[in-house]
Structure 1
Amino acid sequence: MKKGSKKTERMGKVYPFNPTGESYYRRGMAMYQRGQLDKALKYILRAHELEPAEPMILVQAAIIETEIGEFASSNDRLRHVLNKLDPSMSEIHYFMANNFAHLGLFQEAYKHATAYLDLNEDGEFAEDAEDLLELMSLEEEEEEWDEDLDQDELIMHQEQAGKLLAEGKFKEAIELLEEVIERFPDYWSAYNNLALAYFYFGETEQATALLTEVLNRNPGNLHALCNLAVFYHYQERVDELDQLMDALESVRPFLYEHRFKLGATFALVGRHEKAYGWLKSLVKRGFEGDAGFYFWLSHSAWHSGHKKVAEDAWKRVLDEQPEKQGHEPWNTKPEDDALSEEMYPEERLFSLFKASMAGSSLADEVPPAYFTSVEEEYFNLLRNHGDRMDQSPIHRAHEVALLLNRSFDAALEENKGLYYMWFHIVFFASEEQYGFKNIPALTAAVEYSWKKVRAHRVSQKEVAQKHGVSTATMRKYINDIQNFLP
């Protein structure tokens, strides 16, 4: 299947609708007609947020994702429409078949193409579906599919798990990957990804145990060794990290995938000369990486003195991820506090908090149009200088941030993750009308949860006493905030 084929072009049709999110949809479709697909997708997804029950919006988003090559994500949206919003939209089977064909998952492509034809023998996409079946030559090879079924399913699970990890949905990723390793007990990639999911979810002992199991059963597994280095780096286990990285310097992998993993790991831990050597060697051999590859190439090149390579690599990053503008490796003081529509709500809430702590006045400012209702409420609170007469939930959430700031300076880079976690909780809890009733207990719960994520040795009793609350009360609020974490 080639991009720009008849199938892809036919999918790029415009679906009319009349929801209250119409203005965002119209703006998205205007961008779509101009060929500005990234911007189009952003506006269409905003329309979906406003009208989550309108299936045609999500279908249009899926169509755009197909055109930009995000086939797995497109199918996720189409599957949601078919299963949750409108099971009667039979054309979705054709769209999914097309995506699966692009992914090389021909068993799934056949299943959905035939499902569409069964429901729409003379439908709008009937001829295209028949062409798709012919292109895959599936009619003659039906007897061979069963042996490929497990492989197709394994690829699908792996892609879905990778997507969940990227989105920070660690609980869902853990559930999916545990199912995978139960069915495929020697699939080491799933073990490695499951270890990452456990680690970022705060279950560091379980994560390390999984990597140890992999290395015991598959000694020298490079992905496991590199992931272990990542764990040591974030846990600030300097001696163990140095020992492991010194050992990895003697490794000479053959596969491109392993060279990329090794180079990215060296870059992450700050060994930029080594990182640059591996990543640049891939470029010389004609390797075409994604934005992640060029991100690490740019960083390692810049920090090892290869300015031109760094700048060229960063252009490749921006081609795929224009939202990275301003985060170049040479931008030593990125404007983290500058609000942007591209930021996540928790990033904007944290920026507002830092601005208020720095004494910036919002008295003459108005909240940007892209602010959510939670952000606008917080903006107005800070504009009134956090008036203590205001005992609203958002004010109590602000008081928690103020208490956290006594122990964790919000201006320090090392504490950024703590505040992102808290304001992520603030945003989603506010949407659920959570009351933020007990400020000291919430502060204790957040501090303890964060320290557990960072694998710091700390007891619940110690943190609870620090904030003057009982351990039982702190535990209650730990359970509360877990409901609003990914």
Structure 2
Amino acid sequence: MKETKLMAKAPKPKVISVRMDAAFFFERAVQSMDRFHYDKALKYFRRAAEYEPDNPVNHCNTAGILSELGNYEESNRILKQVLEEIDPEMTECYFYMANNYANMENFESAERELIRYLEQDAEGHYLEEAEEMMEFLSTEMERPAKQVTIKSREGLNEHDKARSLLEEGKFAEAVRVLEQLISKHPEFMAARNNLALAYYYMGYFDKSTETIHQVLEMEPGNLHALCNMAIFYQNLEKHEPLQELVEVLKKTYPFHQEHVFKLATTMGILGEHETAYRHFRRLLKDSEAFADPSLHHYTAVAACNIGRFDDAARHWMQTQKLDSGSEIPRFFMSQLNEIRKDPSKRPLNYHYHLPFEEQFQLLEKSSKDGIPDHMKRDPLVRSSFFWALRHGDHETKLQVIQALGMLADSEVKDALRAFILEPDEDEYLKKVAIFVLRTIGLKEPIHAHLEGKPTVVHAMTFSPNLPVWEEQWQSVMELALTKMDRRYDMVQQHDLQTLWVEYLSRVYPNAPKIVKMEGWAAALEYLTAKMHRRTISYHEVASLYGASITTISKYVKLIDEACGIREKMEAIFHKFNEKL
């Protein structure tokens, strides 16, 4: 039998197909770059761009190789093409172009493109390099660099601005900045926390709480938010959730100084003075923090509130040494002496400012010479006024309105404008606030809620029974107010204006012809002083206004007969608490 040989078939050769696409040429280009074969890399990047002409990265890579080869003009042509035809959002192209122009020693063009990069690039990948290049260009051109708004730092810059506004007590303005910032950067937790504080300082509890809840939903362990929420719980008298949160905070031991300070002040406000004292002492171990007078004050308050009176005295003496021009340490040292005699007078407030009554007395004392700048800038002084304007009693609000008139800035105008729009606020208080707004320079029509309805109050003061306002009547009022300035407070000046309008309204259309303006003005001051139980004589106002006693007494009698001033004095005094 024929033997059959079994022969194995030779295997077919394997053919590996090469997929010639953009990724293939990109990999070849990178390999060539690693070997410093830039000519080959350029060829491969160009092929990649041919396969994917709408992919800006391939074109940018081509421009990058051209730049490495010194072909800066061709590199910039491609980069411009990317921006104009392929992807206008590829803002790093401006940075690459600036590099090319700098290498060409075309420094003006380099600066132009660099500014475009800084102003349009939101990510800031080349921010540090761009700032270094800007310094280099400034040196080469022998002039300062042009001012530029860095887009990638917009959020941080706006947040820094908002924090500065909070520190200056400009809470309404800070709210506007922070609300805009959060709308653009919703996950900016620090901005949300500061917005909650701004609302809180202005007395908007609901908005504060809502904002903090938003932070804690996004970041449950946020220490600033937890501390703020604890304070809000305390103000809202939510005792059970407050106690749970306090227990958590007492066990918290942060290491970052900012967090330690936040926790310390929060625990002090919550009455956990032992914990507060421990954290404040931790902070004082830092040499820079040791030079802060307010930190010694906080430590002193905590020490005083736990009965460590000698420690408290030592820290307030250090506060006095570091802040020698301030009334605050002297005031609290006097309080410490009282507490040593009667410990039941504890606890003291942690805020580094005088209590409201002392602040107002200082404002009154300094109003003749102008308000000290440090009081105008102190955010806690200002916040106490804005807080009291919303939550104080009638007399306190009246004091606050006058104090705000002494501060007299845009923040004050915003606060008073909001106050006079409140339907439930006292009518008299709103009219005093309107007078203050006029006194501090607001000339345009003022929107208010008066007599149960929205009202526009114009520059001149009218009443329903006084359809016209004569120039001579205005002159009498202005003369009286000018003479009374710095001798009478704003409430008293307001009441003089109200008295004059009431008199003219009652006698209209038979208002007397104003012959002796000084006599009428003197009569108005005399009656206003009497309404406020101030010591005054006819001789005094006659000398001040240059009018005869006979003329003044005659006009006093006419106004009294029309308005019944003497009969209403006691009722007015008790009803409105006008005497401070």
Q: TM-score range by the shorter chain?
A: 0.3 to 0.5
Higher relative contact order (CA 8 A, sep 6+): 1
TM-score, length-scaled by structure 1: 0.43
Q: TM-score, normalised by structure 2?
A: 0.37
Larger gyration radius, structure 1 or structure 2: 2
